[in-house]
Amino acid sequence: MMNDTTLKDWRALAEKELKASPDKLNWETPEGITLKPLYTAEDLADVDHLGSLPGFEPFVRGPRATMYTGRPWTIRQYAGFSTAEASNAFYRKALAAGQQGVSVAFDLATHRGYDSDHPRVEGDVGKAGVAIDSVEDMKILFDGLPLGKISVSMTMNGAVIPILANFIVAAEEQRVSRVDLSGTIQNDVLKEFMVRNTYIYPPEPSMRIVADIIEYTAKEMPKFNSISISGYHMQEAGATLVQELAFTLADGREYVRAAVKKGLDVDEFGGRLSFFFAIGMNFFMEAAKLRAARLLWSRIMSEFNPKKASSTMLRTHCQTSGVSLQEQDPYNNITRTAFEAMSAVLGGTQSLHTNSFDEAIALPTEFSARIARNTQLILQHETGVTKVVDPLAGSYYVESLTNELAGKAWALIEEIETMGGMTKAVNEGLPKRLIEAAAARRQAAIDRSEEVIVGVNRYRLENEDEIDILDIDNTAVRASQIKRIAETKRRRDPKVVEATLATLTEIARSSRGNLLAAAVEAARARATVGEISDAMRAAFGDHSATPEVVHGVYREAYDNDPEMKVLAERLADYAKKSGIKPKIMVAKLGQDGHDRGAKVIASAFGDIGFDVLSGPLFQTPEEVADIAIEANVAVVGVSSLAAGHKTLVTQLIGALKAKGADEIIVVVGGVIPKQDYQFLLDHGVAAVFGPATNTLYAARAVLDLIEGKLRNA
C-alpha cells in the first residue's frame, strides 16, 4: 500500500505536470528493457532474490558478508609502457601512491606470440603495452616488486602459456615460490574469437590451453586465479549489457566444463575463477548488471554440485569504459570515469581500474594516471560508500533492473545451450554477429544525436586546446628489444632450448601432459615467447577468421533521413557516370585486433551505397597494398587504435607507390592524436577521421575525394 497517495493519483498528477501520459516517457534501452518514469513496490512482486543477504547464495548483495565495511575494493591501474624498465618505474610509483596491485598491459606483438624481432610486428612493438620477449624482460618488469606480497593481474590470452611460464620463472629467480604468487591471468580465449581477436590458435586447442592452465594452477598455485572471464571487451566492441552478461557467463560455464572434463573436481578450482566486466555510462543499469551476474553465476555453478559455497561465488574486477572516453573536450572524461567508478562500487566489484582521461587519444601520461587513481582513493575515503553493505539494496528501480537483466541474459544463455554450448556458438559466429549489429545500431544513434554525448554531438566547443600526450618511440623500443633477444640467445644452451621446445610440441600433439608445465621448462632454458608460441603452432596451427559485415542496421536507422538520401543519390550518380560503385577497402594494419570501428564503418558505408571490402586482420602494409590493387579499390581506409599509425600507414603509402598504385587514396580513422594529423597528411594521407567522427560526414568526405580524383583523371 502506498503512503498518502495511490499509483492512479500519481499518474493523474504526472499527466497534469507533463501534459502527456507518463507512459510516453518510457525509454527502451538497447537491451530491450523498457524503463518507466516511476518504480514502486508493485514492480518487485515477482522478484525472488529480495530476501538474500551479502555473503550468502545467490550472492546478489555481494560475495562477502561485510563487503567494503570490512575491506574496500582493490585499487588497480592497468598499465604497460613500451619497455620493461619504463613499466617497472611506473608500477613502483603507483604502488607508493596508493595502488594496491599491479595490472600488466602487454604490447600487441606479445599478445599474438611474436618476438619483437619478427618482421610482422615492426609497427607494434612497445605500442599499447609492454614488450616481453623472455624471462629477462619479465625479471626487469618486476624488479624490486615483492611478488610474494602483491597481487599481479596480467591481461593475456593468445600467448598466455609463454607469458605465465615466464612469470613463474621470473618469480622463482626472485626467490618467490609459485605457491605464494597471487593474482590473475586473463586466459579467456573464447571472447577473443568474438571481439578482441588477439588469438593465435583455433578454438578447440585454445580451450585445451585454458584447461591446462586451470589444472596447473589448481595444483601448483593455490593463491592464483587461473582465469578472468571477460565481458569487458564485449561491451567495448558494442555489446549490450544483456549480451555482455550472457556471453561472459556462458564462456565461464564452458571453461568449467573443460576443467571438469580434464578430471578436476569443481571445488579444486571454482573458488579461483574470476570475472572482468566493463562499466559504462548507464549508471544504475551497470550496478544492477553486477548484481545479476552474481545471481546467475550461482545458478550456473550449482549444476556442477560443488561442496563449497565459495565455488558458486562470482568475484569480479571492473574497468571503466574506454569507449565512453572522447577525444573532444577530453576533461569531460574525468567526470565520466568518476560516475562509472561509483557505479562499479555500488554494484559490488572486488577490484577496479579507472581509465585516464586522455586514453581516447593515446596511452595515459603519468599526470592523467594519477587523476584516475585518485578518483578511486576519493571514492574510498571521502564519499562514505564503504560504510554500508550494498546501499542500493531494496531500491524499487535497481532490484527490478537486476531481475530484468538476469531474465533476459538467462534466455540468451539458454539459446546458446541449444546450440551445443559457447564453443559451438562462437564457431557459428552467433555472438559476433549480435555484438556487431548492436555496435552499428548504437553508432547510428550517436550519429543522429539520439544518444547524447556531451562535447561530441551536443554542447561541442568551438575551439579545443591540445593536451599533452605520451608518445612512444617505437623504433627505439624495438631496437632495444632485438638487442636483448640476441644477448639472451647468445648466453643460453641451444640444445636444452631445442629439447624443451620439442617436448612442448609433442605434448601439444599428443594431448598427454600439461602445456604450462612444459612451457615453464622452456622458459627456464630461456626459450623466447615467440619460440614457445611457435612450438605450439607446429601442433595446433594458426586461427584465421573470415571477415563478415553486418548489413541493414545503419540503413534502417536512417530510413527516410534527408542527408542519407542525398548521399545515396550522389553515390548512384557516381556509379552511373563511372560505370562502377565507388569501392573502399577497410583495413587493419599490424597486430591490432580491435575491429569495432572497422566493422561499424564497413557496415555503415555498405548501407550508404559504397562497395565495401572488409580486409582481413593482422595484415602487413605490403599485404594490404596487394589486396587493394587486386580488388581495384578507389580508397583504402585504415582503422587504427593501437598507436602504430605513423609507422604502418607510411609503409602502406610507400608500398602502394612502389607497386605503381599511388592513385589509390589512403584515409585513416580511429584513435589518432590531433598532434599526428599533420604528420600523416604530410606523408600522403588524404584525410584523417579522429574519434567520434560522424559516419555520414566521413562518407561524404570520402566520396568528395573519389569524385575529385575522377574529375582530375
> Looking at 133, 137, 447, 592, which residue is catalytic?
592
Distance between CA atoms of residues 150 and 95, nearest Å = 10
Active-site annotation holds for 592: yes
- Per DSSP, the three-state class of 140 is helix
- Per DSSP, the three-state class of 705 is helix
Active-site annotation holds for 78: yes
SS (H, E, C) 590-631: CCCCCCHHHHHHHHHHHHHCCEEEECCCCECHHHHHHHHHHH
> Looking at 118, 594, 599, 646, which residue is catalytic?
594
User: Helix H segments across 38-145?
Assistant: 84-96, 108-111, 135-141
- Per DSSP, the three-state class of 471 is coil
> Looking at 588, 599, 645, 646, which residue is catalytic?
588
Q: Would you put residue 608 in left (φ > 0), alpha (ψ -120 to 50) or beta?
A: alpha
Distance between CA atoms of residues 696 and 570, nearest Å = 13
> Looking at 233, 289, 432, 599, which residue is catalytic?
233
Q: Who's near 256: CB < 8 A, 6+ residues apart?
A: 266, 270, 273, 300, 301, 304
Distance between CA atoms of residues 321 and 353, nearest Å = 10
- Per DSSP, the three-state class of 50 is helix
Residue 2 · residue 40 · CB < 8 Å: yes
> Looking at 39, 43, 78, 262, which residue is catalytic?
78
- Per DSSP, the three-state class of 66 is coil
Q: Count other C-beta atoms under 10 Å from residue 537's C-beta.
A: 17
Cell of 36: 518507466
Rounded to a whole number, what is the distance in angstroms from the first to the last CA of the chain?
A: 77
Q: Who's near 302: CB < 8 A, 6+ residues apart?
A: 312
**Quick one: CA torsion of 536, 537, 541, 542, rounded to 10 degrees?**
120
Residue 645 · residue 676 · CB < 8 Å: yes
Closest C-alpha among 105, 216, 108, 205 to residue 165: 216
> Looking at 199, 201, 232, 255, which residue is catalytic?
232
How many Å is the Cα radius of gyration of the chain?
Answer: 26
Cell of 17: 505536470
Q: Who's near 199: CB < 8 A, 6+ residues apart?
A: 157, 158, 189, 192, 193, 206, 543, 593
Residue 597 · residue 641 · CB < 8 Å: yes
Identify the burial level of 482 via C-beta atoms within 10 angstroms of its C-beta, where 0-12 means exposed, 13-18 middle and 19 or more buried.
middle
Distance between CA atoms of residues 14 and 586, nearest Å = 50
Give me the count of residues in the chain.
713
**CA 593 to each of CA 56, 107, 664: distance values in angstroms, whole numbers, following the listed order:** 40, 12, 24
Q: Who's near 237: CB < 8 A, 6+ residues apart?
A: 194, 195, 196, 435, 436, 439, 594, 595, 596
Cell of 342: 561509483
Q: Would you put residue 48 in left (φ > 0), alpha (ψ -120 to 50) or beta?
A: alpha
Q: Catalytic site residues?
A: 78, 232-233, 588, 592, 594
